[in-house]
Amino acid sequence: MEYPELKEREEQIKKVIRAEEEKFQETIHQGLNILEEYIEDMINNRGKCLSGEKAFKLYDTYGFPLDLTREILEEKGLTVDESEFNAHMEEQRKRARKAREGFSDFGWENGSSIGLNKNYETIFKGYENVEWETEVIGLYFDGEIVDRIDEGEEGVVLLKETPFYAESGGQVGDTGYIQNENFVGKVVDTKKINDQTIIHFIKVKKGSIKNGDTVVSIVDRKRRSDIKRNHSATHLLHRALKDVLGDHVNQAGSIVLPNRLRFDFTHYEAIRDDQLKEVERIVNERILDSLEVKTIETSLKESQEMGVIGLFEDKYKDQVRVVQMGDYSMELCGGTHVDNTSNIGLFKIISESSIASGVRRIEAITGEASYDYLNELERSVDKVSNILKTNKKDLIERAYNVVEELKDKEKEIELLKSKMALSIADEILKAKVNINGVDLITYKVENMDMNSLRNLGDEIRNRMESGVIVLASVHEEKISFVSMVTKDMVTKGIHAGNIIKEVAKVTGGGGGGRPDMAQAGGKNINKVEEALNIVPTIIKEQLK
């Protein structure tokens, strides 16, 4: 027996799990980047202990466990203030408890737990209105049905009719005020129970709200407008994605907030830059076309015949709401929209990514957020122009020139370095001594890394007909030793590898190599001279 439904459900679950895993990895990765920044900061400022506040931020925002933070810090010889971290944890526990005692634990998801009237269908007036006079028909405080909620308290309000949009279809709930001459209540969120009862979460700012009160409910108009712009843009985006990528594109989820929108959709390969640009261009073109936005109430069957796109979530309702934007887009939707696409303002995509196999995500902004974004961008360009001491018009050319100049300077530095090495070589050659018939040079060079030291050794060996060279240098707290022996001296029994081994040992280091060439690292930078001083003895030993 086969169960295709089960198989489909299993695929769905797997997809969700994969998306969750990817999200988790992404946040952990972000946390890691931030921890690295903290560590760099500590190293630069000679700090030894990460503040508990920062460790808590890593934990709270990025799910970074304290153990992991501690472990990574320990690797760098750093610690974390655990008692401060624990204090923050306790603080958070207290806050969470308080919130539960407030209204989060009202069981609004299953209204029955607080005796909420499950059958009441709130009349939504918010498609045409942002302000509405109505009656209070239910109040809930501290998990109980009550007659009043007093100043300073938080509770839930049921209204007979409401202009407040309840969170659904990805669009966030409205905020605003419910008030009359006796009280002012701030609505912090609006949700829906059993798909029909709209509930308002309020904080009473002044006076008391009572059951049966006549009140005016006022939606935060600006916030609603921002949400409307972003929501309407998702419709144009959905259509434009189908136009550019193909009809297989379907909405897989969305979140519409006042300051941005997020649109997830099915598509099985990466989106090219030019495709994304084309999508953005089409959406902006439809905005400038000033398309009228109309809503039509119709039957589900009829809407399907009309070729409407969208999530058929309301498949058990016979009446559906179709939102039409000119001739361009027709979508099933219960959200709030602008009256004309021109109200959306500039539509700007700010990111595109894959969130699961076959599902991609676009984040975008509209209206005021786009304006702020452009201003921010302009400020950055101004700053860069300032730093590069040019005007915006010549910025790109200037940037190219600076990069070229840097390359030239690097070449110049390389040239100077090799010239310097030659003059150092002259100096070093003067330090030649004779040990039992062997020409020996031991020399401590200032601030040179292993590579440069080896090049210098080669140079000196080339200029010496016969002999032994041992060079040392301290660079970035690290000691490098290099030893070179000419061929004739190798046949006499001198071994560069064995010399360097004993020399490095004096400073607590180690290394070795071939009879003619060897290198090693050292530890104690105060013992470099002492180490070089034992070379004559080693040579005498090797000559025996």
Q: Report the interface residues with Zn ion, using CB under 5 A.
A: 333, 335
The SS3 call for residue 471 is strand
| Closer CB to Zn ion, 333 or 362, in the complex | 333
Question: Considering the complex, what minimum distance in angstroms separates the CB of residue 320 from Zn ion?
Answer: 12
| Closer CB to Zn ion, 249 or 474, in the complex | 249
| Closer CB to Zn ion, 168 or 180, in the complex | 168
Relative to beta strand 49-50, strand 319-325 is unpaired
Question: Considering the complex, what minimum distance in angstroms separates the CB of residue 31 from Zn ion?
Answer: 35
The answer for residues whose C-beta is within 8 angstroms of residue 58's C-beta and 6 or more apart is 31, 34, 35, 64, 69
Burial class (CB in 10 A: 0-12, 13-18, 19+), 102: middle
With helix as H, strand as E and coil as C, how does 84-126 read? HHHHHHHHHHHHHHHHHHHHHCCCHHHHHHHCCCCCCCCEECC
Q: Nearest Cα to 134, choosing from 153, 157, 117? A: 157
Q: Which residue is nearest to Zn ion (CB)?
A: 333
Question: Considering the complex, what minimum distance in angstroms separates the CB of residue 204 from Zn ion?
Answer: 33
Instruction: Answer whether 358's CB lies under 8 Å from 18's CB.
Output: no
Question: Considering the complex, what minimum distance in angstroms separates the CB of residue 342 from Zn ion?
Answer: 17
| Closer CB to Zn ion, 332 or 421, in the complex | 332
Task: Report how far residue 237's alpha carbon sits from residue 371's, in angstroms, rounded to the nearest whole number.
Answer: 19
The answer for residues whose C-beta is within 8 angstroms of residue 320's C-beta and 6 or more apart is 297, 298, 299, 300, 303, 314, 332
The answer for residues whose C-beta is within 8 angstroms of residue 193's C-beta and 6 or more apart is 108, 109, 110, 111, 116, 118, 199
Question: Considering the complex, what minimum distance in angstroms separates the CB of residue 270 from Zn ion?
Answer: 28
| Closer CB to Zn ion, 150 or 313, in the complex | 313
| Closer CB to Zn ion, 345 or 509, in the complex | 345
With helix as H, strand as E and coil as C, how does 163-207 read? CCCCCECCECCCCEEEEECCEEEEEEEEEEECCCEEEEEEEEEEE
Token duo for residue 61: 């925002």
What is the 8-class DSSP label of residue 156? Answer: E
CA 327 to chain centre: 38
Question: Considering the complex, what minimum distance in angstroms separates the CB of residue 311 from Zn ion?
Answer: 10
| Closer CB to Zn ion, 19 or 338, in the complex | 338
Question: Considering the complex, what minimum distance in angstroms separates the CB of residue 235 from Zn ion?
Answer: 6
Instruction: Answer whether 518's CB lies under 8 Å from 496's CB.
Output: yes
Question: Considering the complex, what minimum distance in angstroms separates the CB of residue 375 from Zn ion?
Answer: 28
Question: Considering the complex, what minimum distance in angstroms separates the CB of residue 282 from Zn ion?
Answer: 18
What is the 8-class DSSP label of residue 392? Answer: G
* Count of C-beta atoms within a 10 Å radius of residue 27: 14
| Closer CB to Zn ion, 114 or 255, in the complex | 255
| Closer CB to Zn ion, 170 or 345, in the complex | 170
